[in-house]
C-alpha cells in the first residue's frame, strides 16, 4: 500500500478525535440533561423531552446553510467557528437557571453541532484516499459509535449524585479537547486570493436557492437516511424506560455497549466491502438485520432478548450509516461535498427528531412493544425506497 492510499494520517486521527469528543458531549447530555431538567429545574416529562427536541430543531434549521458555508468559506474555518460556539454553549449552561434559558442554549448547541458535523465530515472525506473512501469514512464514523458507547453511561454516572457543577464542567472540558484536536488537525494552507474574492463577491440572495441548500444527487439516498433515523429514534430515546417497564433497568446500558461494539467490530469489513463492491451489498442485509433487531426488541420480555436485539440492530446500523454516507460522497461532485454532507445530515437529523416524537406518541397510545414493531415495519419500507429512489437508477 502506497502512502497515497494511507488512511491513518495524523490529521485524520486528530479530526476523528475532535469529532469523538463533540459526540461524547452530546451522548452525555442525552441521558443526564433530562434528569437535570427534572431534578434541578423541576420540569415535567414533556419538558424533559424538549431537551433533545430543541437540540434537533437547532440542528435541522442550520443544516440547509452549513453545506454551502463549507463550500464557500472552507471546511476548516467553519469547523473552528462551530466548535468555538459549541464550547461557549457548554460553558453557558452554568448560568442557565430557568428551563426557557436552558432550552434556548440547547437550540444554539444544536446549530453548532450541525456546523461541526458537516464541516468535519467534509474534512475527513478530503483526508481519505478516493480508492478507500468507504473504509475511511467508516473508520471516521466509528469514533461516533465509540462515543455512543461511553456517553450515555457516563452521563448517568456523572449525574448519580445530582452534581450540576460537575456535569457542566465535564462537558466543557470535553468540548475544549474537541477544539484542541481540531486546531492541531487543521492544514493552514492560505486561501488563494482569487478564491477569497469569489467568496466575498458571492451573491447573498442565492443563499436560499435549492441548488445552494441541497445537492440533487444526494437527495434520494438522504431520504433513505431519513427513514433509517426515524426507525433509530425510538432506540435512542426509549430504550431506558422500556427496559424499566420489563423490570430490567440495568440492561439499557448493556444494550448500548453491545450495540456500539457490533458497529466497531464490523466497521473495518463494512468499509472494505463498499470499496470492493458497492453499497447494495451492504444496504439490503444491513437493513434486514436492523429491522430484525427492532422486531426482537418488540417481543422482548427479558434482558437476554434485549441483548440479542442489540446484536442484530448494532450489526445492521453499523453497515447502514457508513454505507449511505459513502454512497452520497461517491455520487456527488467533489466541489459539492459540503452541500452533499449537509443534505444527508439535514434529513438524518430531521428523521431522528420526528421519529423520536412520533414513536413516543405511538408508545403513549399503546405500549413500547407496538412502538418497536412499528419502527421495524418502517425500516422494512426503507428497503423499497432504496430500490425505487436509488438502486434501479444507479449501476456500479
Closest CA to 19 of 98, 158, 89, 124: 124
Under the banding of pLDDT at 50, 70 and 90, the label for residue 22 is: very high
Whether 112 maps to a domain, the answer reads yes
Same domain as 234, residue 159:
no
Alpha carbon distance 380, 382 (integer Å): 5
Q: How far is CA 159 from CA 31, 148, 152, 308, in A?
A: 9, 17, 11, 28
Q: Which DSSP letter does residue 189 get? A: P
If one compares 84 and 185, the residue with the highest pLDDT of the two is: 84
Q: Domain range spanning residue 82?
A: 1-185
| Backbone CA torsion sign across 262, 268, 269, 271 | positive
**Angle in degrees, CA 249, 252, 254, rounded to 5:** 115
Q: Do the beta carbons of residue 113 and residue 90 sit within 8 Å?
A: no
Alpha carbon distance 286, 142 (integer Å): 16
Task: Specify the CATH number for the domain of residue 215.
Answer: 1.20.1250.20
- How many structural domains is the chain composed of? 2
C-alpha cell at 106: 440547547
Alpha carbon distance 273, 271 (integer Å): 5
Q: Do the beta carbons of residue 49 and residue 99 sit within 8 Å?
A: no
Same domain as 126, residue 228:
no
Same domain as 95, residue 180:
yes
Q: What is the pLDDT of residue 2?
A: 55
Alpha carbon distance 381, 166 (integer Å): 44
- Mean pLDDT taken over the chain: 82
If one compares 115 and 63, the residue with the highest pLDDT of the two is: 115
Q: Do the beta carbons of residue 311 and residue 344 sit within 8 Å?
A: no
Alpha carbon distance 222, 237 (integer Å): 22
Q: For helices 164-185 and 75-92, what crossing angle results, to 10°?
A: 170
Q: For helices 75-92 and 99-127, what crossing angle results, to 10°?
A: 150
Whether 267 maps to a domain, the answer reads yes
Q: What is the pLDDT of residue 56?
A: 84
Same domain as 250, residue 384:
yes
Q: What is the pLDDT of residue 130?
A: 74
Whether 199 maps to a domain, the answer reads no
Choice among 195-204, 235-244, 378-387 with the minimum mean pLDDT: 195-204
Q: Give the predicted TM-score (pTM) of the model.
A: 0.74
Same domain as 177, residue 31:
yes
Query: Residue-wise over 268-291: b if at least 16 C-beta within 10 A, else e?
Result: eebbebbbeebbbebbeebbebbb
Residue 188: how many other CB atoms lie within 10 Å = 6
Share of the chain above pLDDT 90, in %: 32
Q: pLDDT per residue over 290-320, tens digit each?
A: 999 999 999 999 999 999 999 999 999 888 8
Q: pLDDT per residue over 171-229, tens digit each?
A: 999 999 999 999 998 754 444 443 444 444 444 444 556 666 678 888 889 999 999 98
Q: Is the pLDDT of residue 15 over 80?
A: yes
Amino acid at each position: 500500500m502506497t502512502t497515497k492510499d494511507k488512511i491513518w494520517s495524523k490529521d485524520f486521527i486528530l479530526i476523528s478525535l475532535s469529532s469523538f469528543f463533540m459526540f461524547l458531549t452530546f451522548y452525555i447530555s442525552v441521558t443526564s440533561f433530562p434528569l437535570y431538567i427534572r431534578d434541578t429545574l423541576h420540569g415535567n416529562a414533556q419538558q424533559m423531552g424538549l431537551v433533545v427536541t430543541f437540540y434537533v430543531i437547532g440542528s435541522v434549521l442550520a443544516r440547509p446553510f452549513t453545506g454551502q458555508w463549507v463550500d464557500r468559506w472552507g471546511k476548516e474555518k467553519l469547523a473552528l467557528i462551530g466548535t468555538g460556539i459549541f464550547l461557549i454553549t457548554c460553558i453557558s449552561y452554568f448560568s442557565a437557571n430557568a428551563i426557557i434559558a436552558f432550552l434556548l442554549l440547547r437550540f444554539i448547541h444544536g446549530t453548532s453541532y450541525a456546523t461541526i458535523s458537516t464541516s468535519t465530515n467534509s474534512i475527513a472525506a478530503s483526508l481519505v484516499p478516493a480508492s478507500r473512501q468507504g473504509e475511511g469514512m467508516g473508520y471516521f464514523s466509528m469514533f461516533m459509535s465509540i462515543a455512543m458507547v461511553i456517553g450515555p453511561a457516563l452521563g448517568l454516572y456523572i449525574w448519580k449524585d445530582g452534581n450540576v457543577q460537575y456535569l457542566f464542567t465535564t462537558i466543557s472540558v470535553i468540548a475544549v479537547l474537541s477544539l484542541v484536536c481540531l486546531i492541531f488537525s487543521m492544514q493552514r494552507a492560505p486561501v488563494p486570493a482569487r478564491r477569497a474574492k469569489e467568496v466575498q463577491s458571492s451573491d447573498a440572495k442565492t443563499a436560499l436557492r435549492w441548488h445552494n441548500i441541497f445537492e440533487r444527487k444526494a437527495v434520494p439516498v438522504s431520504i433513505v437516511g431519513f427513514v433509517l433515523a426515524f426507525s433509530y429514534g425510538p432506540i435512542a430515546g426509549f430504550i431506558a424506560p422500556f427496559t424499566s417497564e420489563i423490570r430490567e433497568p440495568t440492561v439499557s446500558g448493556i444494550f448500548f455497549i453491545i450495540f456500539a461494539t457490533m458497529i466497531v467490530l464490523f466497521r473495518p469489513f463494512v468499509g472494505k466491502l463498499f470499496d470492493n463492491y458497492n453499497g447494495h451489498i451492504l444496504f439490503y442485509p444491513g437493513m434486514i438485520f436492523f429491522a430484525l433487531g427492532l422486531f426482537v426488541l418488540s417481543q422482548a420480555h427479558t434482558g437476554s432478548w434485549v441483548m440479542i436485539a442489540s446484536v442484530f440492530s448494532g450489526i445492521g446500523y453499523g453497515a447502514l450509516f457508513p454505507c449511505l454516507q459513502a454512497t452520497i460522497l461517491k455520487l456527488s461532485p467533489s466541489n459539492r461535498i459540503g452541500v452533499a454532507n449537509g443534505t444527508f445530515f439535514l434529513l438524518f437529523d430531521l428523521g431522528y427528531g420526528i421519529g423520536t416524537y412520533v414513536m413516543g406518541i405511538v408508545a403513549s397510545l399503546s405500549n413500547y412493544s407496538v412502538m418497536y414493531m412499528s419502527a421495524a415495519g418502517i425500516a422494512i419500507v426503507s428497503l423499497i425506497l432504496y430500490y425505487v429512489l436509488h438502486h434501479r437508477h444507479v449501476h456500479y
